[in-house]
Amino acid sequence: MGAAIGQSLPVAVGVLVSPLPIVAVVLMLASGRARANAFTFLATWFVAVGAVALVVALVAGAATPDDAGPAPWVGVVKIVLGVLLLLLAVRQWRGRPRGDAEPPTPRWMAAVDAFTPVKAAGLAALLGAVNPKNLLLAVSGGVAISSATTDTGDQVVAAVVFALVASIGVAAPVAVYVSMGDRAAAILDELRTWLVRHNPVIMAVLLLVIGAKMLGDGISVL
């Protein structure tokens, strides 16, 4: 179990610092249904990320013999994931705003103020399990877990730990909001502005580091 958690932990940290889910929560905390929307988003995000990692770990683990190390196909999958992450890193870097140019704002950000908890849950599921960048990271976490253990119980625990760590970034604004009350508004607004501005650069560096790790792990398996 320890090996599975250790292998997937760097990827979980990568999901943790993904800017857009954090921005989504910050915007929800400024909406009319602040607590309901934010807590629903947080819970759904945890389930979505954990479910993707667990399903991938179980499927990959079922295809790996119990008495052997990682199968060659696991190395191939890791190499493919690593290459995809590196390509996304290049795309994010090339799409970063230059100079004083304003970064493009996703349409859903303008609609968050009118969100219901159901819509908040839908956005969390989309960002956690459908958005290509976070989906690739969650899949990478599941592959890392499966390559470390084939025990179903250990995989479940590792996936839960993965989801918990991956949810810290989303949970942090909620904790600030609950603990600081009215004083949280200015802090969260500054955080939102900074994350929106630097999202492409953050994601580019993040995807580059994790992509290089997955590529290296895949080569070592082969």
The DSSP secondary structure of 38-107, one letter per residue, reads HHHHHHHHHHHHHHHHHHHHHHHHHTS-TTSS--HHHHHHHHHHHHHHHHHHHHHHHTSPPTTPPPP--H
Calpha distance 61→43 (Å, rounded): 26
Q: How many domains does the chain have?
A: 1
Residue 41 banded pLDDT, cuts 50, 70, 90: very high
Q: What is the pTM of this model?
A: 0.86
Q: 122: which residues sit within 8 A by CB, 6+ positions away?
A: none
The stretch 131-151 carries a mean pLDDT of 88
DSSP state of 31: S
Calpha distance 206→15 (Å, rounded): 9
Residue 74 has what pLDDT? Answer: 74
Residue 65 has what pLDDT? Answer: 59
HSE of 164 in the Cβ direction (CA atoms, 13 Å)?
Answer: 7
The stretch 160-182 carries a mean pLDDT of 92
Task: With a cut of 90, say whether residue 52 has pLDDT above it.
Answer: yes
Find the helix or strand (DSSP H, E) in which 160 lies: helix 152-166
Task: With a cut of 60, say whether residue 66 has pLDDT above it.
Answer: no
Task: With a cut of 70, say whether residue 63 has pLDDT above it.
Answer: no
Helix, coil or strand: residue 102: coil
Please write the tens of the pLDDT for every residue from 121-133.
999 999 999 988 8
Task: With a cut of 70, say whether residue 81 has pLDDT above it.
Answer: yes
Residue 184 has what pLDDT? Answer: 85
Task: With a cut of 60, say whether residue 68 has pLDDT above it.
Answer: no
Contact 150, 156 (CB under 8 A): no
Copy the structure tokens of residue 113: 């103020």
Q: 102 is in which domain, residue-wise?
A: 2-221
